[in-house]
């Protein structure tokens, strides 16, 4: 099954049970595969067990904040977009989250119509980043070099040329 045809897997981490279930219900009706955790630690357990395409996490949770859980997830799985959901418009916290690598944020109450737009925008951004990374790897690959436990070795020859005067 192609990446585009496969059902997208979304993890929702939300300590407000009713709000989490409402988001999960809406996304499942929009044909997403939904996983729901009511705590940051529960969310981390699901991250370790499931292949996820995107994570939606509440920012303010007891115990471990959405910012802290995002930091842990980003250390484990750098390619999963994370969208934080906050009940307050705390721009300082949002700025900090974006600086550590969180993809996006939403302010509660989240518009159900806005959810798939935000999810798809972040999934498309991640696909574009992955494609650009692959293109850059191909562009900057070093032919004639190989790596071993002892370090890199040159299998070819190195040609040096003089720079023109003044440059």
Q: What is the 3-state secondary structure (H, E, C) of the chain?
A: CCCCCCCCEEEEECCCHHHHHHHHHHHHHCCCEEEEECCHHHHHHHHHHCCCCEEEEECCCCCCCHHHHHHHHHHHCCCCCEEEEECCCCHHHHHHHHHHCCCEEEECCCCCCHHHHHHHHHHHHHHHHHHHHHHHHHHCCCCCEEEECCEEEECCCCCCCCCCCCC
- Phi, psi (5° rounding) for residue 48? -75, -25
Pick from 11-20, 85-94, 102-111, 158-167: least confident? 158-167
Residue 150: pLDDT above 50?
no
Question: pLDDT tens digits, residue range 52-84?
Answer: 999 999 999 999 999 999 999 999 866 899 999
Residue 130 has a pLDDT of: 83
The structure tokens listed for 106 are 């939403």
| Edge-to-edge strand ranges of the sheet holding 54-58 | 33-37, 9-13, 54-58, 82-86, 104-107
Residue 140 has a pLDDT of: 54
Question: pLDDT tens digits, residue range 123-143?
Answer: 999 899 888 888 877 655 445
Average pLDDT, the chain: 83
Residue 151: pLDDT above 70?
no
Pick from 22-36, 48-62, 151-165: least confident? 151-165
Q: How big is the CA angle at 71 (ends 38 and 86), to the nearest 5 degrees?
A: 50
Q: Say whether pTM exceeds 0.95.
A: no
């Amino acid at each position: 099954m192609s990446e585009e045809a496969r059902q997208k897997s979304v993890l929702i981490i939300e300590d407000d049970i009713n709000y989490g279930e409402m988001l999960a219900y809406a996304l499942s009706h929009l044909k997403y595969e939904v996983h729901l955790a009511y705590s940051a630690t529960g969310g981390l357990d699901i991250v370790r067990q499931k292949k996820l395409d995107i994570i939606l996490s509440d920012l303010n949770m007891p115990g471990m904040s959405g910012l802290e859980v995002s930091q842990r997830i980003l250390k484990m799985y750098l390619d999963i977009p994370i969208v934080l959901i906050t009940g307050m418009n705390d721009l300082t916290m949002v700025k900090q989250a974006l600086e550590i690598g969180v993809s996006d944020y939403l302010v509660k109450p989240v518009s159900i119509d806005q959810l798939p737009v935000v999810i798809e925008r972040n999934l498309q951004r991640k696909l574009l980043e992955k494609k650009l990374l692959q293109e850059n790897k191909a562009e900057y690959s070093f032919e004639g070099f190989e790596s071993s436990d002892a370090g890199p070795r040159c299998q070819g020859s190195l040609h040096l040329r003089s720079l023109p005067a003044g440059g």
